[in-house]
Amino acid sequence: MSGRIESRPSDGLTYDPNDPKYWDRAGYEKEQTRIFDICHGCRLCFNLCPSFPALFEAIDAKGDDVRNLSAAERERVVDLCYECRLCYLRCPYTPRDGHEFQLDFPQLIQRGKALKVKRQGIGIRERMLGDPDRLGKISSKAPWLANWANRNPLQRLILEKTIGIHRHKKLPEFAAETFERWLTRNGLPAAPAQPAAKVALFYTCIVNFNDPAPAKAAVEVYAKNNCALTCPKQNCCGMPALDGGDIEFAKREAQANVASMLPLVQQGWRIAALNPTCSLMLREEYPRLVGTPEARLVAEAVADPHEILYELRRRDLFNRDFRSTPGTIAYHVPCHLKAQNIGLRSRDLMRLIPQTQITTVDACCSHDGTWAMKKEYFELSMKWGEKAFGPLREAGARIMATDCSLAAVQIHQATGTRPLNPMEVLARAYKPDGFSQPVPPVAPAE
């Protein structure tokens, strides 16, 4: 096949699911061919995830011409992408950079998944994993039973055969008490007369049902820092459904959250999303997915929870009255936190704890939503995640930490150590008995 493939956008370019052109398969295939060709020539992202090596090897074997790829080979590239977004950060041809190529590989893959769902429907596995609220509400009625089933070899074998969840994948455990129930029982601290910040906590579904400790810690830390705190009505951010190609369900989830949080945003509240994937979803996907001025207004108010605390530090309002220290921390940087380009604020805050040394591990753990749970990708996820697991082990730190609850599950499986959320580290450090090492008293000035 001869003829040059044009690198500038085709008439099929769109990353907006509300644009009818988004659902035109011929237009998508034009863009796929164009972008795959650019990536093959560039190869800057060769070592980020399994998707790019599969793409490059397939094109190399077909005479260096992407147009010779079979439908199955193209589909494999889409399936191997787990939406870590690191390629977008590395790519020099993106809309963010104002480049004429307007190349957004993650959005291209997302569009491909959506078109596949439109053509084939949603499988039972994707439907189940795409609605963690429903799964969490059912499992939280008898969390001990759900956790037993998740650990039982026979049950896991059945789950693998019927649903396609790998039998050896460590799954998030269900908490004995959800954060919502804890909040109903304990309430929130009284708001200060003159709050340093007004924070609406988007605690996320995985924190609510599986890992409430970061949310409880956030309540303590924000109270320590003179912040007013509220928890609006909320549901899943919609990212699991979006990742599975279920655009319509993801959009409904997003619309519900926008409607709930908009009044608070209009009153000057910041939205602190406890999981980096959720804050990325609210910030970047809601304006495109919902496509309204209200969604954009909510997106502008979203922040990483440590980002808000770091702003207090800049205003000399951050409480540094730490009473104990973790000593050494191996800190894992979640990909979806990096994708937001806000810096490593949680790490920077932990560094303020006296006598704390932090080793930063900047590598993807390859859990990425639900991808690592799937039977066809679990072993691959552990192989690619070793870029993070190895340095975390080698750091020899007393504490491991990561902002992402799913990354914590993956790291726990690979290393045997359960990382803390940085908010938990801060909350513990405020207490004399939070860690075994007390903060030594400050020597009086001579």
CATH tag, 320-438: 3.40.50
pLDDT band at 438 (very low <50, low <70, confident <90, very high): confident
What mean pLDDT is reported for the chain?
94
Q: How far apart are CA 195 and CA 268, in angstroms?
A: 12
CB 328 within 8 A of CB 425: no
Share of the chain above pLDDT 90, in %: 95
- Residue 443 reports pLDDT greater than 50: no
Residue 308 has pLDDT above 70, yes or no: yes
Query: Are 196 and 226 a contacting pair, CB within 8 Å?
Result: yes
**Spans of all domains in the chain:** 20-120, 179-312, 320-438
- How high is the pLDDT of residue 403? 97
pLDDT by residue (tens digit) across 271-302? 999 999 999 999 999 999 999 999 999 999 99
For 88, how many CA atoms within 13 A lie in the half-sphere containing its CB?
A: 22
Instruction: Dump pLDDT digits (tens) for 243-275.
Output: 999 999 999 999 999 999 999 999 999 999 999
The values of phi and psi at residue 168, to 5°, are: -100, 0
What pairs with residue 201 in β-bridges?
272
Closest CA to 272 of 233, 297, 235, 301: 301
Average of pLDDT values for 345-368?
96
pLDDT > 70 fraction of the chain, expressed in percent and rounded: 98
Residues 6+ apart with CB under 8 A from 375: 160, 164, 165, 166, 167
Say how many Å lie between the first and final Cα of the chain, rounded.
81
From 253, 276, 289, select the one nearest 368 (Cα to Cα). 276
Q: What is the mean pLDDT of residues 6-18?
A: 95
pLDDT tens digits along 309-318: 999 999 999 9
For 29, 151, 374, the CA distances from 241, given in Å and listed in that order, are 23, 25, 15
Once rounded to an integer, what is the mean pLDDT over residues 430-437? 89
Look at residue 335 in the predicted model and tell me its pLDDT: 95
Task: Give me the pLDDT at residue 444, please.
Answer: 44
Render pLDDT for 407-429 as a digit per residue (tens, 0 to 9): 999 999 999 999 999 999 999 99
